[in-house]
Structure 1
Amino acid sequence: MSDIFTTYSSCAIDDRNDNDSLEEFLTKLARFGIDQCLHLAHLIVNKQRSSENFSTLDHKYKIFEDKQIDLNNLLLEIQTLQNEFYNILLIISSSNDEKKQLLFNKLQDYLSNFVEINLRFKSYEISTKEIHLNDSKQSINTFELLTKKFDESLSTISSLSNKPSIILSSSFFSNDDINNKIDIGKNWKFSNIIHTRFQMSLIASNSHMIICYNNQNHFLHFIRIDGQFQENIKWKYESIIDIHWCSFMDRYIAVTHKSIYIIEYNKSKLSSSNSIIVEKVLELEKFNSARITCNENKILLYTIYQQKSSIQIYDKQFKKEKTFDSLINKQLPINSHSFCCTNTLIGLTEQDEILISYFPYVTPKKVSLLLFDIDTFELRYTIDLNNCSNIYTMKCLEKYNVFFGLSAEKNLWIIKINNNETVQVAKKTFYTNQTEMCIVNNQDLLLINVNGGYAIQWIKYLISKINGDNKGVDSSTENTRPIIGILTQPTPSTWKKPNRTTYLAASYVKYIEATGAQVVPIRMYQSIDYYLHLFNSLNGVLFPGGDFTNEYLYVAKLFYMWTLKEFDEVQKIFPLWGTCLGFEVLLMLTRCSTDILEPCKAYDYATEVTFMPDAADSRLLGRSLPINIKNALQHEPTTANFHIFCMRPENFSADPILSTFYKMLTVSPDTEGQAFVSTIESRRYPIFGVQWHPEKNGFEWRVNTTIPHTKNSVEVMQYMANFLTNQARQNTNHFSSLQDELKYLIYQYTSEFYDLDKSHFQQVYFFYE
């Protein structure tokens, strides 16, 4: 193994210049470790996806389960190791010489760990080679890190009213949600484990912030969904007994034994003294225990006091609309003492139609879910769950009417209630028996108390898929403020001035802004933390044309690997678009080689394109492509080419990696009539590339060039730009505050004009260090 470690280390050491300081060398070594971990994680996820096509014969399925667990463990280890490299990278610059030497020793140990994990992965590949299916193109990625088996549970459905019975169905999601039938039990992915410095008694979450309450010291802690601690406050009021996120109020609701409070976390406030606002909104009658929930219209409070249980329903202004009371000997709706004393929160479906609770039978290992009519409070249906003794927490993923119930056996029960009154029930069994509570935000599931209340498991529950159309985005999930990042590039020698390090052609900025998106320039020579922050805040990235540099390749690789990782794990759409050099770099990153292109003569040359068979069912040039745009591309010189290297179609088709990863959508002739690949898109990921320059058609006016400025050429440009922005609208990332957003936007910089005779660009943004 020492020989292999030497090989890996030499890759980083060979990159070290004699003039490098220890700090620079450690930075390169840490970056190398991050790159290797990202790449290996990508390979492991791909192997998981291909393993899904195993035979379902018993002996092979057992092998699949065992090997899938092996892959899950490997992936967890490599992600943990990647985080260690990140941690070192963040502290290198602030460390003294003695600490840097210690960091160097750590990096050596981490690289040794990487080699060991890599060898285990290679061993896994060899051991499973005989049971892999050859064709994995149609496989679906399932990331079962926190589960050891999937057990679809049949349920007994009983109708207790004249209304139609609920029908058990394997198809839960309507065609509006997803085109294919989805198994709700497999429709989730592990995302992260958040470790805290404090114990948690209660938590609530929205899509970007988690609030944690500690009933021992009465502190409220605020943690970003990515695990970054924000701040905390001392809770000055009576103890909180339940807390919930209310989306229509954009506030947290906290229930105490005397009152209901709303808690606002205002991200735009710069000082912590006024960023958290607490307001009492309602005095409550005395009770022993309580739970609260809400949907998009109503707030529901369930209380128990002595011999009485009560359900109170409030509107958005906390005005009471109705109350249902019951004595123990006349329980609502079941005459049962145990039902009254469950103290387990019921949940509301999105449109106020169904209220769900549960009833534990006297018979062991049997629980019945109860579905009530919210208007009359009549029991409409029951769903019996076998092998379940008690569900002690239940939460609803409101928008999709998916309920999560955590049972005493550490099983997570997933119940989907559709508008046409069909039901599907699934069960997940966890490795750990320390999971004590589950909550949801608008789209995710969080499980806490996996380590004595000091850790949160974050699960992404998935209902979306890549949109194969360019006709628009579902308005209910559309991001109406998309922000797209554009890589800057090292300044060429002809434009060099003191401290002027990078530049960006203004034509790319105009190209994106004309579609209704904003632009953030992505600077070179920045910290890993800077790039990670932008990846988590932007909605897509454009790799522009220009001259190849190692720094450009390094930054592009970060966004490329993160994009693949996010889509593999949580099907998050983060579009990447490569133009000219960006197109070439996408191929290099996929092929893990910079030596894949060959010279070709296509500089300052406008030409038409030839559509290839894969274009017909592509997202970029498929059914959504207007016929006039297709005709212009095929029959007019509407594509401006400014490249001297290219990928030949025969080389592309012969390469098993490139041809499997990408679709070749179009080819074009160079000045000698030889074809080159001109448009691609990933078969699986939101990644697209053009060897030509669509942005030049409308925004570059250099004289004596072949850049096409015809009406059809400009419409081609507009179509391509709109496609990228429509992809970005499907991403819901955002900056943590308006101040943070403004700090990065292109508006902070001023473009400079260059002449129309010699300069490639008429307006350029320069960036100074």
Structure 2
Amino acid sequence: MPSHFLSNSPSTPTTKTSDLQNDTAVSLTSTSSSSSSSSTAPDMWTYLWIPFLMSLSKELTLARAATATTSSPSILPPNQLADDDSPSVPRCSAQDIKLNYRPVIGILSHPGDGASGRLNNATNASYIAASYVKFVESAGARVIPLIYNEPREILFEKLNLVNGVLFTGGWAKTGLYFDTVKAIFKEILAKNDAGFHFPVYAICLGFEILTMIISEDNQILETFNGADQASTLQFMNNINIEGTVFRRFPPDLLKRLSTDCLVMQNHRYGISPQRFQENEHLSSFFEILTTSTDEDNQVYVSTVQACGYPVTAFQWHPEVLLYVLCISAIVICLQMHVLVGQIPQLKLLNALNKWSLMKNAFEWGLSMIPHSEDAIQVTQHIANFFVSEARKSLNRPSSQKVLANLIYNYSPTYCGKAGKGYDEVYIFAEQKAPKYTRCAVHGDCHGHVKL
């Protein structure tokens, strides 16, 4: 909240508004000795009250700082620490040559257009929700779309251009889509077995399909009432989070994950911990990290991580939460005293809240998506872990081939009005290599441009 300057101080004489207005009109260049003492005093206060208040504010600030020091130690920047051994001029360390600082993630498209045919009803159409793309980009990686129904040789050529793969949410559990996920996953495991670090994230439907593939049982899933709800994550007893997706979470945020509804659930299927542990293939491949509870108080597995591979699967949606609410907009408007004075405070805050909610997250189509700052931090940590794993990839493909296949070669489609959940999607309706701009291939501009 902005600090308010005191309009009067104990040592400032009380003066009517009209007198103050008259005081400011007094000429500052007048040096006439005939000026009366009654006009000299107001002139003096005109010059002195601002420095006085500034001095008073400084003293109050120092007093508060001294009080805070007694309760907690001060945090100082490095150049103010008393360490004679520290170098006077810091030097930036060289980048680790073993890491890939230009990682690319492949995201597999899903059948349909993301809006039940309202945007594109072509039988060969597939889509990627833009929230998955932004999820990856927010952590410092780029995206190549892996179009599920394109020729298998093209799909595998693209797989050789990426440093990790993300399987998205959706509904398709059979047919060509299932077969494509299975073929890609088998290839990824082979790459890891050959010593090439290659991470996988599987979200919602991706979690379900991997469960079916690894368990070798297409009927292993159970029904749960987890549609459009926020929930907690309950960590398994004695779990060691070191090396897992939760490794860099602050302790207080880890605690709030189990007490506050910070994650988004939107599924009808899942697997209970009991059935999970009973399947030898699943229990030997994955370790359960967290469970959650649906609206009927049924417990299901919500996060798993492979024991010997960089594979993590989520039965919740980390990609839909990103970006902190625009609190700065509220602060700025509250500083506008005239506006606050004219509009009732409750109505003002409600209007600002609605405005900020419209501006900041990746998906707003479902009512129960959490958008608190804690929820945003959860998603950012999840994205960061995935991309940090992708940086370990030794794959260094041709930059020209990467540029020619990036998601930037496609234009997203807004579907908020036509769809039921996604706000924006990339739609792929042609089984051929994408057209790309001269900018993307020849590198004579930054980023990408729309055709």
Name the TM-score class by shorter chain. 0.5 to 0.7
- The residue that corresponds to 2:260 in the other structure is 636
* Partner-residue secondary structure (3-state), 2:318: coil
Matches within 5 A, 1:42-61: none
* Partner-residue secondary structure (3-state), 1:615: coil
> Is 1:596–1:647's contact at 8 Å kept on the other side of the alignment?
yes
1:717 to 366, 369, 379: 379
* Amino acid across the alignment from 1:589: I
Matches within 5 A, 1:473-484: 475-484=96-105
- The residue that corresponds to 1:501 in the other structure is 125
Supply the distance in 2 between the matched residues of 1:571 and 1:497 (Cα, whole angstroms): 42
Deviation at 1:615, TM superposition (A): 3.3
- Alignment pair present for 1:647 and 2:271: yes
* Amino acid across the alignment from 1:686: P
* Amino acid across the alignment from 2:377: E
2:165 to 532, 541, 545: 541
Supply the distance in 2 between the matched residues of 1:664 and 1:745 (Cα, whole angstroms): 34
Deviation at 1:673, TM superposition (A): 0.8
Shift of the 644–728 alpha-carbon distance from structure 1 to 2, 3 Å rule, reads same
Deviation at 1:724, TM superposition (A): 0.4
Deviation at 1:552, TM superposition (A): 2.1
- The residue that corresponds to 1:491 in the other structure is 112
> Is 1:702–1:757's contact at 8 Å kept on the other side of the alignment?
no
Matches within 5 A, 1:269-284: none
Deviation at 1:616, TM superposition (A): 1.3
* Amino acid across the alignment from 1:559: I
Deviation at 1:533, TM superposition (A): 1.4
> Is 1:702–1:758's contact at 8 Å kept on the other side of the alignment?
no
- Say which structure is richer in helix: 2
Matches within 5 A, 1:513-532: 513-532=137-156
Supply the distance in 1 between the matched residues of 2:128 and 2:368 (Cα, whole angstroms): 22
Supply the distance in 1 between the matched residues of 2:96 and 2:161 (Cα, whole angstroms): 21
Supply the distance in 2 between the matched residues of 1:742 and 1:731 (Cα, whole angstroms): 18
- Alignment pair present for 1:556 and 2:181: yes
2:307 to 663, 666, 683: 683
Supply the distance in 2 between the matched residues of 1:747 and 1:734 (Cα, whole angstroms): 20
- The residue that corresponds to 2:285 in the other structure is 661
* Amino acid across the alignment from 2:420: S
Shift of the 678–614 alpha-carbon distance from structure 1 to 2, 3 Å rule, reads farther
* Partner-residue secondary structure (3-state), 2:305: strand
Supply the distance in 1 between the matched residues of 2:126 and 2:104 (Cα, whole angstroms): 21
The C-alpha deviation readout for 1:115-154, integer Å capped at 9, x for no partner, is xxxxxxxxxxxxxxxxxxxxxxxxxxxxxxxxxxxxxxxx
The C-alpha deviation readout for 1:598-644, integer Å capped at 9, x for no partner, is 11100001100110136314522565432133123111111101100
Deviation at 1:718, TM superposition (A): 0.2
Supply the distance in 2 between the matched residues of 1:575 and 1:643 (Cα, whole angstroms): 24
The C-alpha deviation readout for 1:45-97, integer Å capped at 9, x for no partner, is xxxxxxxxxxxxxxxxxxxxxxxxxxxxxxxxxxxxxxxxxxxxxxxxxxxxx
- The residue that corresponds to 1:627 in the other structure is 251
Supply the distance in 2 between the matched residues of 1:520 and 1:703 (Cα, whole angstroms): 25
Deviation at 1:474, TM superposition (A): 8.0
* Partner-residue secondary structure (3-state), 2:266: strand
- Say which structure is richer in strand: 1
> Is 1:500–1:766's contact at 8 Å kept on the other side of the alignment?
no
1:750 to 401, 411, 422: 411
Supply the distance in 1 between the matched residues of 2:188 and 2:371 (Cα, whole angstroms): 34
> Is 2:161–2:401's contact at 8 Å kept on the other side of the alignment?
no
Shift of the 704–727 alpha-carbon distance from structure 1 to 2, 3 Å rule, reads closer
Shift of the 608–500 alpha-carbon distance from structure 1 to 2, 3 Å rule, reads same
- The residue that corresponds to 1:741 in the other structure is 402
Which ranges of structure 2 fall in alignment gaps of 5 or more residues?
Answer: 1-93, 323-360, 431-451
The C-alpha deviation readout for 1:699-721, integer Å capped at 9, x for no partner, is 44435610000000000000000
TM-score of the superposition, structure 2-length normalised? 0.62
Q: What value does the CA root-mean-square deviation take over the aligned residues? A: 2.0
- The residue that corresponds to 1:567 in the other structure is 192
Supply the distance in 2 between the matched residues of 1:503 and 1:620 (Cα, whole angstroms): 30
- The residue that corresponds to 2:234 in the other structure is 610
* Amino acid across the alignment from 2:102: R
Matches within 5 A, 1:394-409: none
Supply the distance in 2 between the matched residues of 1:761 and 1:629 (Cα, whole angstroms): 27
Shift of the 703–624 alpha-carbon distance from structure 1 to 2, 3 Å rule, reads closer
Supply the distance in 2 between the matched residues of 1:622 and 1:597 (Cα, whole angstroms): 25
Deviation at 1:593, TM superposition (A): 2.4
> Is 1:486–1:543's contact at 8 Å kept on the other side of the alignment?
yes
- Alignment pair present for 1:761 and 2:422: yes
Shift of the 571–603 alpha-carbon distance from structure 1 to 2, 3 Å rule, reads same
* Partner-residue secondary structure (3-state), 1:494: coil
Supply the distance in 1 between the matched residues of 2:157 and 2:249 (Cα, whole angstroms): 34
Supply the distance in 2 between the matched residues of 1:554 and 1:726 (Cα, whole angstroms): 28
Deviation at 1:735, TM superposition (A): 2.6
- The residue that corresponds to 1:581 in the other structure is 205
Structure number with greater CO (CA < 8 Å, separation at least 6) is 2
Shift of the 513–622 alpha-carbon distance from structure 1 to 2, 3 Å rule, reads closer
> Is 2:227–2:268's contact at 8 Å kept on the other side of the alignment?
yes
Shift of the 567–750 alpha-carbon distance from structure 1 to 2, 3 Å rule, reads same
* Partner-residue secondary structure (3-state), 2:160: helix
Shift of the 605–702 alpha-carbon distance from structure 1 to 2, 3 Å rule, reads same
* Partner-residue secondary structure (3-state), 1:547: coil
Deviation at 1:663, TM superposition (A): 0.2
* Partner-residue secondary structure (3-state), 2:364: coil
Which ranges of structure 1 fall in alignment gaps of 5 or more residues?
Answer: 1-472
Supply the distance in 1 between the matched residues of 2:417 and 2:131 (Cα, whole angstroms): 14
Deviation at 1:554, TM superposition (A): 1.5
Supply the distance in 2 between the matched residues of 1:701 and 1:585 (Cα, whole angstroms): 23
Shift of the 613–572 alpha-carbon distance from structure 1 to 2, 3 Å rule, reads farther
* Partner-residue secondary structure (3-state), 1:723: helix
Supply the distance in 2 between the matched residues of 1:606 and 1:707 (Cα, whole angstroms): 6
* Amino acid across the alignment from 1:481: R
> Is 2:264–2:368's contact at 8 Å kept on the other side of the alignment?
yes
Shift of the 648–474 alpha-carbon distance from structure 1 to 2, 3 Å rule, reads farther
* Partner-residue secondary structure (3-state), 1:684: coil
The C-alpha deviation readout for 1:398-426, integer Å capped at 9, x for no partner, is xxxxxxxxxxxxxxxxxxxxxxxxxxxxx
> Is 2:272–2:299's contact at 8 Å kept on the other side of the alignment?
yes
Percent pairwise identity: 33
* Amino acid across the alignment from 2:375: S
TM-score of the superposition, structure 1-length normalised? 0.37
Deviation at 1:743, TM superposition (A): 1.7
* Partner-residue secondary structure (3-state), 2:375: helix
The C-alpha deviation readout for 1:508-544, integer Å capped at 9, x for no partner, is 0000001110001100212221222122221000000
> Is 2:235–2:290's contact at 8 Å kept on the other side of the alignment?
yes
> Is 2:204–2:314's contact at 8 Å kept on the other side of the alignment?
yes
Deviation at 1:499, TM superposition (A): 6.6
Matches within 5 A, 1:382-393: none
* Amino acid across the alignment from 1:479: N
> Is 2:131–2:363's contact at 8 Å kept on the other side of the alignment?
no
Supply the distance in 2 between the matched residues of 1:712 and 1:625 (Cα, whole angstroms): 11
* Partner-residue secondary structure (3-state), 2:125: strand
* Amino acid across the alignment from 2:192: F
The C-alpha deviation readout for 1:487-514, integer Å capped at 9, x for no partner, is 1011164334347611110000000001
Supply the distance in 1 between the matched residues of 2:241 and 2:321 (Cα, whole angstroms): 26
Supply the distance in 1 between the matched residues of 2:220 and 2:181 (Cα, whole angstroms): 17
Supply the distance in 2 between the matched residues of 1:646 and 1:654 (Cα, whole angstroms): 15
Shift of the 728–625 alpha-carbon distance from structure 1 to 2, 3 Å rule, reads same
Shift of the 704–764 alpha-carbon distance from structure 1 to 2, 3 Å rule, reads closer
